[in-house]
Amino acid sequence: MKSYVLITGGAGFIGTNLANRLLAEGREVVLFDNLSRSGSIQNYEWLRRTHGNRVRLELADVRNRRGLRTAVSGATEVYHFAAQVAVTTSFQKPAHDFNVNARGTLNLLEELRRLPDPPFLLFTSTNKVYGSLRNVELRQNGARWEPVDRNTLEFGVDERQQLEFLSPYGCSKGAADQYVLDYAAHFGLPAVVFRMSCIYGPHQFGVEDQGWLAHFVIRSLDAQPITIFGDGKQSRDVLYVEDLVDAMLLARTRMDDIAGHVFNIGGGPGKSISLLELLRMIGERIGCMPEVRYAESRPGDQRYYASDIRGIRAATGWNPKTAVKEGVGNLYDWVIEARQPAIQVHGGGA
């Protein structure tokens, strides 16, 4: 490969979907990944079967600057997804969380800064940088929490929301988020930050502490109980992964205008759903309600979050297209296909 798109964490859920789109466009892609994430080997093998030699795996870790130096040398675009992704794990191993998320991002920024003409960089941050949103007054509306303030109810949380890092994960991702913006401002890196809400879709091997939509679908299809932390009325705007990829590819074409900016990315209030509402949706699909167990809320959990997406819309013209029910149906179908013949649908139904 003479030039290529570099995706750190490229064999993960979002990386796989982005790589698939880029490869379908005829691009060459390098996946920089240590394959530590569950499902990453399967994702890489699927990309190889689908696209052949135009995708290459660099089996490496963002904590290794030498590996990053080699990887960025021929990159025309860089998408930085490699991360420790779970809040719970960050409490168990805060030093590891910091080294991967904060130090790993700084390593990448330093290697990009060495280049005479640094490539476009898109970094995926998180809505967790806003903490628990304790200044957003909430009320219950049926099976969900929602904001009292009409503007927030209609549009969601915008990029002016005060940062509040409440967990080691929030601290490490927040630090990385701010470093990317600072390197864009002071070193001229053509970089943009996406603060993302809940992303879901095919190639997501969700587990209890990350990727909750896929986790709920997988547990339900396996007829296994699902643990709800809190009352289940926590609501999130959710974004189908193909819509996220659309936003990323639009961002690369607008880089001259949006470099150094941060955008909240999600489905927006119109594509929000509570945990209880998702369970009902899954129950309708499989023909029986999943078994639920309740536990105490986890530290820093947000009872409500929805992205105000007017910023990214104004900058790029992007708008999410996939309805929640359609997207969850696509995820459901992919889980069944990916896990055959081991999985059997319990309870019949549509």
* Residue of 169, 179, 200, 240 marked active site: 169
Domain membership flag for residue 23: no
Asked if residue 342 has pLDDT above 80, the reply is no
Domain membership flag for residue 15: no
Where does the pLDDT of residue 1 fall: very low under 50, low under 70, confident under 90, or very high at 90 and above? low
Domain membership flag for residue 169: yes
Asked if residue 331 has pLDDT above 50, the reply is yes
Q: pTM for the full model?
A: 0.93
Asked if residue 344 has pLDDT above 50, the reply is no
Query: Can you give the pLDDT at residue 12?
Result: 95
Domain membership flag for residue 59: no
- Region for residue 333 given its phi and psi (left: phi exceeds 0; alpha: psi -120 to 50; beta: otherwise): alpha
Active site residue 240: no
Domain membership flag for residue 98: yes
Query: Can you give the pLDDT at residue 260?
Result: 97
Instruction: Look at the chain and report how many structural domains it folds into.
Output: 1
Q: Which residue shows structure tokens 């998180």?
A: 126
Residue 57, H or E segment: strand 55-59
Where does the pLDDT of residue 2 fall: very low under 50, low under 70, confident under 90, or very high at 90 and above? confident
Query: Can you give the pLDDT at residue 211?
Result: 86
CB contact set of 348 (below 8 Å; sequence gap of 6+): 287, 288
Per-residue pLDDT, averaged over 75-102, amounts to 94
Joined together, the tokens standing for residue 80 give: 């930085």
Asked if residue 345 has pLDDT above 80, the reply is no
Structural domain range at position 158: 83-142+150-204+238-268+301-321
Tell how far CA 64 is from the center of its chain.
Answer: 23
Q: What is the CATH number of the domain that holds 167?
A: 3.40.50.720
Domain membership flag for residue 53: no
Q: Environment class of residue 135 by beta-carbon count within 10 Å: exposed (0-12), middle (13-18) or buried (19+)?
A: exposed
Query: Can you give the pLDDT at residue 349?
Result: 33
Per-residue pLDDT, averaged over 255-278, amounts to 96
Asked if residue 251 has pLDDT above 90, the reply is yes
Of all residues in the chain, the percent with pLDDT exceeding 90 is: 86
Domain membership flag for residue 250: yes
Domain membership flag for residue 311: yes
Residue 116, preceding peptide bond in cis (omega within 30° of 0): no
